[in-house]
Amino acid sequence: MSAGHHHSHGHFPHSHHDRHGPHGHVPKNFSRAFALGIALNSIYIIVEVIFGLLAGSVALLADAGHNLSDVLGLAVAWAGAELAKRPPSKQFTFGLGGSSILAALLNGLFLLVACGAIAWEAIGRFNAPSTVASTTVIIVASIGILINFGTAMLFIRGQKDDINIRGAFLHMMADAGVSAGVVIGGIVIYFTDLSWIDPLISLLIVALIFWSTWGLLYEAVRMSLAGVPRDIDIEQVSEHLSSLPGVETVHDLHIWPMSTSETAMTAHLVLPGGHPGKGFLAEVQKQMKELFSIHHITIQIELEDEEADLCQVDCGGSD
């Protein structure tokens, strides 16, 4: 028998204030950071393409292609972040927080496409190397270090709490590293005249992009499939719930991401001794938020283990 049911944020309809009130998780506003990052990188892409063609540098063109994918990624991440702020509605009772997960997933896919394009062009240049204007490459790529690092710093505040923002941060930091690699390649070419260094640097860029993207893509896929967020140990959550006063067993425990910054949980707690009293559910909600950063909680209290009773019937225990 179910003795009670509690949802930590009330029931529909929610207002925007209700959803992000004192018990919610307020997404930080990075609109200006996205706008500035997109503007700076768009200008830099144009500069890289022009001077990459003039200098005959596939490394600069490769970095421009990578930066283009990052501008698209920033735009998608921005759209996801803005949609995630929308309040719940009758059609989307949890809001549109899941759009930030889709944005992170698309970000990862953009980067994989960029990897393939850069690698294809670089391999072709090994067979037909061209003269590279190393001084131009060094100057343009040095500007890229400043722009990409500066853009990354715009997102450093939120990259620990939101995979969507972390994706933007990691991409920009990777870009700064890539630009540094292009500078090093230009210096080597300047002193050695070894043109094959340029496509080699491009392949190293691909390896760096792929390495930095894989973890983001894996986590985005995991979240899109409603997997338990990687920073939450479901066994620890179950053990903590089982240790609560009067709780005999815990079952039907589910934890999933509602967005890249909000997590939901449902659980059935078996309390044979009866309802634990006033304040119990509020305390569970507080502990789940403080210990595990779970924001939306639904607890069902049972006076007897209904799951075990159902199993006996289904497994022929009533014979």
- Could you give the CA distance from residue 83 to residue 81 in angstroms, rounded to a whole number? 6
Say whether both 34 and 105 belong to one domain. Answer: yes
- What length does the chain have? 319
User: Residue 257 pairs with which residues in a beta bridge?
Assistant: 263
Say whether both 277 and 138 belong to one domain. Answer: no
What pLDDT is stored for residue 4 in this prediction? Answer: 44
Say whether both 150 and 241 belong to one domain. Answer: no
The secondary structure element, H or E, covering residue 249 is strand 249-257
The 10s digit of each residue's pLDDT in 192-207 is 878 788 788 878 878 8
Answer for the pair 168, 25: CB distance below 8 angstroms, yes or no.
no
The 10s digit of each residue's pLDDT in 225-249 is 888 988 889 999 999 999 998 888 9
For the segment 60-72, the average pLDDT, to the nearest whole number, is 76
Residues 6+ apart with CB under 8 A from 108: 167, 213, 216, 217, 220
Residue 212: inside a domain: yes
40 token code pair: 């700076």
User: With bands split at pLDDT 50, 70 and 90, how would you rate the model's confidence at 3?
Assistant: very low
Pick the last residue of a domain from 200, 224, 248: 224
Average predicted confidence (pLDDT) for the chain: 78
User: Residue 5 pairs with which residues in a beta bridge?
Assistant: 300
User: With bands split at pLDDT 50, 70 and 90, how would you rate the model's confidence at 56?
Assistant: confident
Which of 56-65, 194-203, 214-223, 226-235 is predicted with the least confidence, judged by mean pLDDT?
A: 56-65
**Domain CATH code at residue 7:** 3.30.70.1350
- Could you give the CA distance from residue 310 to residue 294 in angstroms, rounded to a whole number? 29
